Amino acid sequence: MHRKQPISVLVYNQLFPHPRPDDPASFSAHLSKNLVGEVRIETATFYGSLDTIEARYPGLNYSHTPHRKRLGRFPHHARLFQAFDALGLTESEIAGFCRWEGTLWARERYERDEGVKVRDTTGLEIGEWVDRRGRTTRNKGINVKTDIEVEIEEVRPAEEAMDSEMAEEDEESDEEVESVGFELNQRLIQAAAMREQGVSVVMDPEWEQFLKEAQEREALGRQELGIQASGAAAPRSLRPALASAMASLDAPPMPPNPSIGPAS
């Protein structure tokens, strides 16, 4: 694109549309006063020093986006790039205009004059990007971790477990004896009390049959009745009646008393 005015004039008018007394009189003055100083600061910050050829000729390209980002941190270069965009300058126009210290033009001139190639080490530690988006991978043995609540049951010692089991068996034995029924227990207690007084009483037929079978089974019958040597396994309410009943089984039968009939 052919410009009617030099690019330097267009850029200066874009940067300083209404110059003040303290503003540079031309773009060359602006370059010497502001832009070159920012280039030196950026180069020293990026390379650490100016001891290498690469640091003295960094080859900054004012059309290259990474270089623009590096220089755009400085106020005068930020305004310069805004002016380039506002004027719509092409890459060729920018390359032909940016001919000062630190630019790509300065490096290319040095390489041409000295016959050497300045090695650019920027980004060498970054590996080549490989596009893996087209590849399909299969993940095998994927382990998914989830939060699982575990209820821990305290293991009781063997002795405590045995004591607990024996207590449960005693309770079951008590329940079996008490399951004979409240009414039957009352008749049993009444009949046993009368026999202790010497009265011949015919006990409840169901209970007589139960005691008879228990006596025949001997030890088994005694376990079912819950009667031990100490009598501790039987319920307290039935212990006297049961003892009397067992004693009556071993005693000789007494003659019946006609005055007392069967208990109902």
Domain boundaries, the chain: 7-114, 165-250
Q: In residues, how long is the chain?
A: 264
- As a whole number, mean pLDDT of residues 125-154 equals 66
- Res 255 pLDDT > 60: no
Q: Considering only 71-85, 104-118, 163-177, 182-196, which range has the smallest mean pLDDT?
A: 163-177
Q: pLDDT band at 159, cuts 50/70/90?
A: low
Distance CA(207)–CA(185), nearest Å, equals 9
Specify the pLDDT at position 164: 65
SS3 call for 103: strand
Could you give the dihedral angle defined by the CA atoms of residues 31, 37, 38 and 41, in that order, rounded to the nearest 10 degrees?
160
- Between residues 55 and 200, the one the model is more confident about: 55
pLDDT recorded at residue 8: 95
- What is the reported pLDDT for 245? 53
Least confident of 91-95, 171-175, 233-237: 233-237
pLDDT of residue 62: 97
> Torsion angle, CA of 56/62/66/72, rounded to 10 degrees?
90
Read off φ and ψ for residue 245, nearest 5 degrees.
-65, -40
Residue 19 has which token pair?
Answer: 């110059």
Amino acid at 104: L
Selected residue with higher pLDDT from 167 and 67: 67
CA–CA separation, 169 and 184 (whole Å): 23
pLDDT tens-digit readout, 10-43: 999 999 999 999 999 999 999 999 999 999 999 9
Per-residue pLDDT tens digits for 190-246: 777 776 677 666 666 766 777 677 667 755 555 555 544 444 444 555 555 555 555
What is residue 256's predicted lDDT score, i.e. its pLDDT? Answer: 45
- Residues 6 or more apart whose CB falls under 8 angstroms from that of 254 comprise 198, 200
pLDDT for residue 253 is more than 60:
no
Residue 109 reports pLDDT greater than 70: yes
Spell out a b/e string for 8-42, using b for 16 or more CB atoms within 10 Å of the CB, else e: eebbbebbbeeeeeeebeebeebbeebbeebbeeb
pLDDT at 86: 96
- Convert the pLDDT of each residue in 161-171 to its tens digit: 566 666 666 55
How far apart CA 190 and CA 212 sit, in angstroms, is 19
Phi, psi of 60, deg, nearest 5: -70, 125
Long-range Cβ contacts of 245-250 (<8 Å, 24+ apart): 245/188, 245/192, 245/203, 245/207, 245/211, 246/211, 248/192, 248/195, 249/211, 249/215
CB neighbourhood size of 84 (10 A): 21
